[in-house]
Amino acid sequence: MEEEIKEMENDFTKILNRRTRKLSKEELKKEIIKFIGENKICTIATCLNNIPRSTPVRYRSKDMTIYVLTEGGVKIKNIMENPNVSVSLYGDYSGFESVKGLQLWGRAEIIKPEDEEKYAEARSIIKSEEREDLKKLGVKASPDMKIIKIEATRARYLNFPDGILNQVWEV
């Protein structure tokens, strides 16, 4: 059994090596920005007192920065105590050869409405469609909603169809 697993790993490695396309730092950054822009849902992972929490959220982006409009909750409390976060994004899956995914690491900042300049800038990126979605549900959006701004410092990108296999970008 162990030999079979090792043989399978070797075969898999050969396939990956044939398909791999190595990108420059700038090319990789462009691919990552494109992937971030093509998606709308991510998972933010926070941690406080050795208790991890991951929360799926809707987001918007500008370059390598993620913006999330939120009412608050545990993720805000965690970020205020520990701003180091991880973010995961995934593409649609229709078999292994379709796999696309991104892991981001960075620092999160909570932007409150009282910080008018920063809040207005972030709101211009998020736009107002979140409020429209809430209206459709019959939920009144709070004017006190906060914004989580995540500046990526490191990313690992996998785009199997294009041969980009776990390449790492760092600031």
**Residue 52, SS3?**
strand
Better-predicted residue by pLDDT, 91 or 9: 91
pLDDT tens, residue by residue, 101-139: 999 999 999 999 999 999 999 999 987 656 667 778 877
Residues 106 and 153: beta-carbon distance below 8 Å: yes
**pLDDT value at position 128?**
62
- Per-residue pLDDT at 129: 59
pLDDT digits (tens, 9 = 90+) for 39-58: 999 999 999 999 999 999 99
Cβ(64)–Cβ(152) below 8 Å: yes
Coil, strand or helix at 120 = helix
Query: Greater confidence, 82 or 139?
Result: 82
Domain ranges of the chain: 2-170
Task: Note whether 154 and 170 are within 8 A (CB).
Answer: yes
Contact 59, 42 (CB under 8 A): yes
Per DSSP, which regions of 20-145 are E strands? 41-48, 51-58, 60-62, 65-70, 84-90, 100-111
Minimal CA–CA distance to 88: which of 166, 156, 170, 165? Answer: 156
Top CATH class, 2-170: mainly beta
Task: Give the closest residue to 70 by CA, choosing from 138, 114, 134.
Answer: 134
pTM to 2 decimal places: 0.86
pLDDT, tens digit, for every residue of 56-73? 999 999 999 999 999 889
d(CA 64, CA 151): 7
